[in-house]
Amino acid sequence: MAPKTVKHRAKPASRSSRPTPRLAARTARKAASVKAVRAVTVGRPAVKGKPLSRREVTELRQVLGQERQRLMAELEAMEEHTPEVEEQVGMDIGGGYDEDLADVASTTFEREKSVALESSVQHVLTQVEEALERIEEGTYGRCLRCGNFIDYARLKVLPYATLCIRCKELEEKTAR
């Protein structure tokens, strides 16, 4: 009776209780190909670009946090300012003089400009907040369209970018 060897571990689970060498080889090949597939789907080669390092994410999170503070302060300042302008417009309309009309027009224009500015500040603030959420979720730095990593250089310039440069260019081309 041959002593049990440690080398022979668990037999491959199969219907045949005595695996033939050919079956064993096939099982090994199958295992190898499964490993290869896993490497492609889980590993980095499937996604283009370089993931952000932890330090880069920390740095960008800080930049985004500061940007959020700045934009919120700006919005607050605008909201304090807007009622004054509206009051002025009301007064001018009540006056009814021709020369006041020019003032009304310019005041209206100013007000429209400030409303547009406010909504654009609000828009950027929303994007900044969404970027911070993506950092929390761990999806930050990936292109929302193709899934590739967005270049760190691009994120440094635009930390709330949602698209890689290629997709952004594509989007701009189709928008035209």
Q: Which residue among 130, 145, 154, 162 contacts Zn ion (CB under 5 A)?
A: 145
Residue that is written with structure tokens 């309309």 in the block: 93
User: What six digits make up the tokens of 174?
Assistant: 């189709």
Enumerate helices (H) and strands (E) in the chain, giving the number of each. 5, 0
Q: Which residue among 132, 143, 155, 161 contacts Zn ion (CB under 5 A)?
A: 143
Which segment (3-11, 24-32, 57-65, 157-165) binds Zn ion by CB under 5 A? 157-165
Comparing CB distances to Zn ion, the nearer of 89 and 146 is 146
- Closest approach of Zn ion to the CB of residue 168, in Å: 8
Comparing CB distances to Zn ion, the nearer of 111 and 154 is 154
161 binds Zn ion (CB under 5 A): no
Comparing CB distances to Zn ion, the nearer of 74 and 151 is 151
- Closest approach of Zn ion to the CB of residue 167, in Å: 3
Comparing CB distances to Zn ion, the nearer of 93 and 144 is 144
128 binds Zn ion (CB under 5 A): no
Integer Cα distance of 56 and 146 in angstroms = 21
Residue that is written with structure tokens 């081309």 in the block: 173
Integer Cα distance of 133 and 121 in angstroms = 18
Q: Which residue among 64, 104, 161, 164 contacts Zn ion (CB under 5 A)?
A: 164
71 binds Zn ion (CB under 5 A): no
Backbone angles phi, psi at 147, to 5 degrees: 85, -5
Comparing CB distances to Zn ion, the nearer of 60 and 143 is 143
Integer Cα distance of 153 and 175 in angstroms = 25
**Contacts (Cβ under 8 Å, ≥6 apart) of 62:** none
Q: Which residue among 47, 85, 121, 167 contacts Zn ion (CB under 5 A)?
A: 167
Q: Which residue among 56, 146, 151, 152 contacts Zn ion (CB under 5 A)?
A: 146
**CA proximity to 142, closest of 44, 69, 67:** 44
User: What six digits make up the tokens of 13?
Assistant: 């689970």
